[in-house]
Structure 1
């Protein structure tokens, strides 16, 4: 039978992805990883295998404890015959040493408990949610496109197009019109001319709707029309960079008192060289950075790139 050919597809938001991937595999930043919904099944499978191995060991030790001849095994049935085995009154079977049985049972229990403990550890490790670790320095930055807003006007942002002009600072932030994000946006806007002098451009990415970002990008107190911000409401762009996105918080509101109905992307910044490779990564969660430090550190990196130095 002729094997079906492997079909490959490429879209604007992800690297090459095989359409023939099994359902328990997902692609994250070009790497195959176990899909989240399959991890509990993996955990229970591991636990079941360990329990099955434990049961086989139990049967083996029980048989060795009885020291039975083949014909005597066939004669055993129920608790009554078991008592006759211990007393030595079952025809063809010698009297058992109770101390020998106790010793073997104790050893059997210890081995069984060790196997069960190993099974619990294996299952626990399998059920731990995958840790999100942003793609690191030197990795190829995943190309993406997204609906974005610049000075209140919508357009389609393309990282590939932006890289043709020079290095790009892609910074992910949780939400427009919230304390830390407002500080960060204002700092990027204030330093925008310095980034431009270094030949770099800036783009912010959040899960905000494009309507919220239209206002945020034009607000003179924040982005001030100095750089675009892209909408990643489903977290697809964040997933390409392996950046964590948490669920929406019920009844959350921004500094204006308006409802925040979207999820929150972790604050992370990627400085991408014109060669398309990640020159530096900064994370508030991993590096314990203040929002404003993302700006100063990113600026230092793009200035190093302009000077031909390795960050």
Structure 2
């Protein structure tokens, strides 16, 4: 199991291929807070719920100084279809070798429906403008997570 990040830790920098086009680099967002959320698979019910919740809250998050990026092991074609189908307007980054997922503590053993497996642990980490972890939540539920996150960030 990978080591989970804690408040105050430096957020591991990463650059990943992303849609729409190009790459997403955490260091490229220095000076703004970034919500980095990790999800198991594009176009699945839970991941779609979570992605659409972030989409629907994006304007208020950005207005409060937060950028958003979703990270999954999906390839770019799957991410492109997901973004188009759900009208997602923030970057989705591809981490097929799980290196970023592991560095951020979002890859490891998990239990679903009574079965243990290794995979993506649905997680959200908020990085402050200086590149440090401001909030870290692991094993979150897809439904209602963005609303709870907004409350924790003081955005109501």
TM-score calculated relative to the size of structure 1:
0.45
Are 2:33 and 2:128, in contact at CA under 8 Å, matched by a contact in 1? yes
Shift in Å at residue 211 of structure 1? 0.7
Are the equivalent residues in 1 in contact too, given 2:37–2:125 (CA < 8 A)? yes
Residue 44 of structure 2 is matched in structure 1 by 178
Separation in 2 of the partners of 1:159 and 1:297? 23
The 8 Å contact of residues 106 and 138 in structure 2, kept in 1 or not, is answered as no
Alignment size in residue pairs: 147
Instruction: Report which structure shows greater RCO (CA 8 Å, sep ≥6).
Output: 2
Higher-strand-fraction structure? 2
RMSD: 1.8
Which of 100, 112, 123 is the aligned partner of 1:268?
123
TM-score normalised to the size of structure 2? Answer: 0.86
> Does the 8 Å contact 1:198/1:303 carry over to 2?
no
User: Following TM superposition, by how much is the alpha carbon of 1:240 offset from its aligned partner in structure 2, in angstroms?
Assistant: 1.4
Q: Which structure 2 residues correspond to residues 119-268 of structure 1 after superposition, within 5 A? A: 131-150=1-20, 154-164=21-31, 166-220=32-86, 224-245=87-108, 264-268=119-123
Q: Secondary structure at the match of 2:22?
A: strand
Gapped runs of 5+ residues in structure 2?
110-117
1:227 & 1:136 partners in 2: Cα distance?
25
Higher helix share: 1
Partner of 2:18, secondary structure, is strand
List runs of 5+ in structure 1 lacking aligned partners: 1-130, 247-262, 305-311
